[in-house]
A and B are shown apart, each in its own frame.
Chain A
Amino acid sequence: RKEVEQDPGPFNVPEGATVAFNCTYSNSASQSFFWYRQDCRKEPKLLMSVYSSGNEDGRFTAQLNRASQYISLLIRDSKLSDSATYLCVVWGGTGGFKTIFGAGTRLFVKA
């Protein structure tokens, strides 16, 4: 079983749609959680940190459920510019201070 699992997609949605991505992680002692965005083999960039209390940044909402070891990302009112790969990332826990990336979920937003 992979340490961080994501649905690879692709998700094909029209502009204005709401889309949700999910991610599960296996190390219950993990400490930090993130969503990164990556455009076409460029360097990943932070989209949001994820907290148990949930956090929102404009059209983006992220949620962490530690009991279920589950992370989510919700994108509302999708824009063409949201087309990218979304990476679920987990840091720390038993075994040291590794950073583990999910394989990514590909999103295509179409006009």
Chain B
Amino acid sequence: EAQVTQNPRYLITVTGKKLTVTCSQNMNHEYMSWYRQDPGLGLRQIYYSMNVEVTDKGDVPEGYKVSRKEKRNFPLILESPSPNQTSLYFCASSVIQGRGQETQYFGPGTRLLVL
């Protein structure tokens, strides 16, 4: 079954404690992306990756890191989480073809609470 998986689904942590949210896709997609969703603000892109070892900032990259060492995995790293990073996080992947981006497939989301 084609899917994007994220782990953990729910996480409560404390300020400053490093954490990693994993994302994996089994569709051989080139493009992967992380978003955060906050009430009234919609989804905002944190980072995206066009392929292995190619990553770039989205609109809200501050406080986050990513890596793309393998095509299927795109972990999101919070080196020193702060309460303003409390949010719902989505990972997504898609194909990029000549005419542009195709359908994005989303993971189920990770609810993060930073105390």
Task: Give the total number of A-B pairs whose CB atoms are below 8 A apart.
Answer: 67
Q: Are A44 and B48 in contact (CB under 8 A)?
A: no
With A87-B42, A99-B48 in contact, is A46–B103 under 8 Å at CB? yes
Q: Are A31 and B109 in contact (CB under 8 A)?
A: no
Q: Are A43 and B107 in contact (CB under 8 A)?
A: yes
Extra A-B contacts (4), CB below 8 Å, given A98-B48, A101-B35: A32-B101, A36-B104, A41-B88, A98-B45
Q: Are A103 and B41 in contact (CB under 8 A)?
A: yes
B112 contacts chain A at the CB level, 8 A cutoff: no
Q: Are B90 and A44 in contact (CB under 8 A)?
A: yes
A45 to B103, CA, bound (A): 9
Residues of chain B at the chain A interface (Cβ within 8 Å) = 31, 33, 35, 37, 40-45, 48, 50, 56, 58-59, 88, 90, 96, 99-104, 106-109
Contacts of A100 in B (CB 8 A): 45, 59
Q: For the complex of A and B, list the 10 residue pairs with the smallest distance between their C-beta atoms, beginning with the closest.
A: A32-B100, A43-B106, A103-B42, A31-B100, A91-B101, A101-B43, A32-B101, A46-B103, A101-B42, A104-B42
Q: Which residue of A lies closest to B50 (CB)?
A: A97
Q: Which of A20-63 contact B (CB under 8 A)?
A: 31-32, 34, 36, 41-46, 49
Q: Are A97 and B42 in contact (CB under 8 A)?
A: no
A-B contact pairs, 8 of them (CB 8 A): A31-B101, A41-B88, A43-B108, A87-B43, A98-B48, A98-B59, A99-B33, A102-B42
